[in-house]
Amino acid sequence: MSLKTVMDSRREASFIEHLNRVSAHFTEEQLPMLKELITKNPIYPDYPKDYDLKLFERYKLHSELLSELSSMEKPAVGHLVNVTCKNGRQYSEALITRIDHDGIMICVHGGGFIHRDNLLTYGLSMTVCGGYFMKAPSSNLQLHDNSNANYQFSGTGRVEACCGISIERPMKRWSLDDSNGDLGFY
End-to-end CA distance of the chain: 39
pLDDT band at 175 (very low <50, low <70, confident <90, very high): very high
| Surface-to-core class of residue 142, CB atoms within 10 Å of its CB (0-12 exposed, 13-18 middle, 19+ buried) | exposed
- Rounded to 10 deg, the angle between the 31-40 and 53-70 helix axes is 90
**Cα–Cα distance measured from residue 131 to residue 78, given in angstroms and rounded to the nearest whole number:** 14
Q: What is the pTM of this model?
A: 0.76
Read off the pLDDT of residues 129-163 as tens digits, 9 standing for 90 and up: 777 888 999 899 999 999 998 887 765 555 454 55
The pLDDT of residue 167 is 86
Q: How many CB atoms lie within 10 A of CB 22?
A: 18
DSSP bridge pairs for 120:
123
Cβ(114)–Cβ(152) below 8 Å: yes
The DSSP secondary structure of 96-142, one letter per residue, reads: EEEEETTEEEEEES-EEEEEEEEEETTEEEEEEESSEEEEE-GGG-E
